[in-house]
Amino acid sequence: MLEPDVLTTLSLLGKSVQILVYSKIEVYIMPNISVLQAEIDAAAHSSRYPKTVTLTPGIYDVTTTPLVINSRLRVLAHDVEIHVPVGQSGIGLEKIWCSIEGLVVQGPKKHDSSGSIGLLLKGSRCKIVDCIFYNLDVGIELDGDTSNVNGWKLLNTSIWRSTLGVHVHGDNANAGLSMGTDLKACIRSIEENSFLGNTWVATTIHPNTHTVNKPAVNETNENSHSTWLGTYLEGSDPGFSTNSNYAVVVGGYAPRKAVGRADRIGGRRSKVTFSKDPASAVEVTIGQDDNVPIKWKYADGSKMSIRRAGNREGFTEGTTQGMVDRGVYWKIDLNA
């Protein structure tokens, strides 16, 4: 902390004002991430095993080249923050089984649109643990189009105030695990475009309510077998959309807000599709409406439902039939 050289008293508008005078001003110059890169490279060439490197704490600047982990290293970056300028990436994980823990990455501005990326993953079986990414265009990109990132792990990590929180894409971005990921005030929280799908556990999503690009979670690959467990999702419907014939959304708040083809179980309602062949599938919805507890929908578009019709007995004519169950009258409606 700077100490003043002189304490001076002046008269201003008839009042005495004390002024601290400093003759020395210290300016903090943010070091370049080349300092961190040198520490990583030195550890990579070391003969010590297991290869773990603890980075020097501080705030670092990215100019044109991101920090790169291209060795099977466990990198501990607690109390390390790197600042990413417009259009640049913060860190790249490019080697199988490498990991980064505790890193903070700050982008150019809230909901940036310059192409800035907090972390770009291009190595398989890599781990991202206890990290924070904010004010970016894309918080984390898992690139399975140009590289193999199968078996990725995203654990207890937060992405805030970014245009897109997590982007998973490509034929080789599968069998990954996200656990405890926190997404806050992103325009879109998750774009899941992997081929075979991934497992998302206890994801917390607070979309930006004013600028959210609905749905907050978007899964597009029809072949994906993603599993979404215990997803907490705020915001208006539709907040969660999956176009997959094989994905499943279980528990949490997501089943109440989900649309699309995925099976959904939870929130006292369910929608399950039976049949491996979508052309002959039967979609069964249970509990969506208290008065229409069960619905069937066939691949040809025809429908059937059972609904409560009051406390009376007997059968009706035409396309509906009634039946008595403990004094409650039920109707089977065709194409309804």
Question: In the chain, where are the structural domains located?
Answer: 34-267, 271-336
What pLDDT is attached to residue 316?
Answer: 41
Instruction: Please identify every stretch of the chain with a pLDDT value under 70, giving residue numbers as ranges.
Output: 1-28, 49-50, 209-212, 236-237, 275-279, 287-293, 307-336
What pLDDT is attached to residue 235?
Answer: 76
Instruction: Give the tens place of pLDDT for each residue, 285-310.
Output: 776 666 556 777 777 778 777 766 55
What pLDDT is attached to residue 309?
Answer: 59
Parallel, antiparallel or unpaired: strands 80-83 and 138-143: unpaired
Q: What is the DSSP string of 268-305?
A: TEEEEEE-SSGGG-EEEEEEEETTEEEEEEETTS-EEE
Three-class SS string for 42-106? HHHCCCCCCCEEECCCEEEECCCCCEEECCCCEEECCCEEEECCCCCEEEEECCCCCEEECCEEE
Instruction: Give the tens place of pLDDT for each residue, 135-163.
Output: 999 999 999 999 999 999 999 999 999 99
CATH topology of domain 34-267: Pectate Lyase C-like (2.160.20)
pTM above 0.85, yes or no: no
What pLDDT is attached to residue 9?
Answer: 62
What pLDDT is attached to residue 283?
Answer: 77
Average model confidence (pLDDT) across the chain: 84
